[in-house]
Structure 1
Amino acid sequence: MRRSRLKGGHVPASIIALSGLAVLGLSAPASAHIIQGGAGGFTSGFEHPLTGADHFLAMFAVGLWGAQMGGRPVWSLPVAFPLIMVVGGIMGILGVPMIGIETGIALSILALGLAIAFAWHPPEWGALALIAIFAICHGYAHGAELPRAADPADYAIGFVLATGTIHLIGIGVGLGLQRIHEGRFSRVLGAAIALGGCYFLVT
């Protein structure tokens, strides 16, 4: 089994701590991200991840991180994320009480950005556990929208396809950047994503 590789040793603990905050939900109950109107259908579902900067950054980061890690995570992380999002989506549809969803979404961008910036290579199960926490948050936010959508099934199909597209973009960019200066540009991009997470966290 490949051991976690990271210079310094403090970042994994920081990322785990951020994940814990997402679970604890230290902010008020989520409401800002949830669409209150009746938007729905395939087009709305496909456009939403592409036009929502927070979701785009997180899903792009999943693909980028998988490409940076190499091996099975190249495909296992992007496949697992939308599958686990379904669980969060069902929780949102059922109205399962959860708080701190917005905080969890912002922390997902920050933590994934840091993982890329510091080239953190945990065991595959550790990476999957991390993204599972954040996938629940992203899925819940969108699942809460589905009951009010004009066509929930078409909306969900569009959203999943857009999510997969963003993951593929992240993988493509990551694999390309890994060939340039030993992946330093990937790490710079990860730092930029982490800054985006800070922005969403404070706003």
Structure 2
Amino acid sequence: MKRTRPLLTLLLACAAAPALAHTGNDHAFSLFTGLAHPVGGLDHLLAMVAVGLWAAAHQGSIRLAAPLTFVLSMLAGCVLGAAGIALPAVEPGIAVSVLVLGLMVAAGKNVPAQLGLPLIALFALLHGHAHGAEAPAGAIWAYMAGFVASTALLHAGGLLAGKQLLSRTALWARATGALIAGSGVWLLSGTL
């Protein structure tokens, strides 16, 4: 049961209703809501776990570079959004991130770091921008501290789950990636 728990969790998450979390309305910006947000929005949950899962398929420094790239780029996107610098198609881009990151997980080592890391950076920029753009002036920093901590934990969870899946067979990792990518298609259909 311990080995199938991450897969069951992912399946249950995929069965939930779409949870695009960027409403721009009545969102409290505190450390607590920052900690809670990544696990409350399906788009963020799947994207962040997928980064860890993809990293697990690689050796050496890539395992840390992927999550670190996501976190730093997410922070940059938040700063851009808070500064009022617009980016095009942020919400559809976030849905596309779930699709593409799922495909990257399914492909595993076949997606080299030279391609994977820039994609991760781009998608993280969009995820961060969505929150920075809707934050009231001066209220974003506690929220982002929580968001970064929760994001790092989700990356670590994805990395550990990926190691478990890959230790059994690459088929489990590929199937998980396909489920994430399918969720991305579903999320994308709700943003267009």
Bucket of the pairwise TM-score, normalised by the shorter protein: 0.7 to 0.9
| Misfit runs of 4+, over 4 Å | none
Q: 1:100 to 1:32 in 2, by over 3 A?
A: farther
Alpha-carbon deviation of 1:174? 0.2
After superposition, where does 1:1-203 map in structure 2 within 5 Å? 33-147=22-136, 151-181=139-169, 183-203=170-190
**TM-score in terms of structure 1 length:** 0.79
Question: Which of 123-132 and 104-113 deviates more?
Answer: 123-132
How far apart are the structure 2 equivalents of 1:123 and 1:194? 18
Which stretches in structure 1 are left out of the alignment for 5+ residues? 1-30
Which stretches in structure 2 are left out of the alignment for 5+ residues? 1-19
**Residue identity opposite 1:139 in structure 2:** G
Output one character per residue of 1:112-151: Cα deviation in whole Å (capped at 9) or x when no partner: 11112133533323211111111111010011133268x4
**Residue identity opposite 2:31 in structure 1:** F
Cα RMSD, aligned residues only = 1.8
**TM-score in terms of structure 2 length:** 0.83
How far apart are the structure 1 equivalents of 2:119 and 2:130? 18
How far apart are the structure 2 equivalents of 1:84 and 1:55? 14
Question: Which of 87-96 and 33-42 deviates more?
Answer: 33-42
| Contact 1:32/1:102, CA 8 A, preserved across alignment | no
Question: Which of 121-130 and 171-180 deviates more?
Answer: 121-130
